[in-house]
């Protein structure tokens, strides 16, 4: 439960903030946020999570916080795109 609730809260905070910034400013801000989001969209969630959790920092710190960080890193582009939508 903790992983799900905390992950969703942080995904919403980051995704909605970046999506709102992209929608409000438009132009080059929108382009940069959209391209960074596209990079994360290109990574499948499970494969990306496996790769990230094998990095030295995450391998040494196995905890609930590590799982939350990985889910947030790979989940924010969906919220940003929904918030940015026309």
- pTM, entire model: 0.86
- Rounded to whole angstroms, the Cα distance separating 45 from 16 reads 19
How do residues 24-77 score in pLDDT, each as one tens digit? Answer: 998 999 999 999 999 998 988 888 888 888 888 888 888 888 889 989 999 999
- For residue 18, pLDDT beyond 80: yes
For the chain, the domain total comes to 1
Q: Which domain holds residue 12?
A: 2-84
- For residue 86, pLDDT beyond 80: no
Per-residue burial over 6-29, b if 16 or more Cβ lie within 10 Å, else e, is: bbeebbeebbbebbebbbeeeeee
């Amino acid at each position: 439960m903790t992983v799900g609730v905390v992950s969703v809260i942080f995904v919403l905070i980051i995704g909605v903030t970046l999506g709102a910034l992209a929608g409000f400013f438009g132009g080059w801000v929108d382009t940069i946020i959209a391209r960074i989001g596209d990079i994360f969209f290109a990574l499948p969630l499970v494969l990306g999570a496996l790769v990230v959790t094998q990095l030295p920092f995450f391998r040494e710190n196995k905890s609930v916080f590590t799982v939350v960080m990985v889910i947030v890193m790979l989940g924010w582009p969906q919220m940003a795109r929904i918030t940015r939508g026309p």
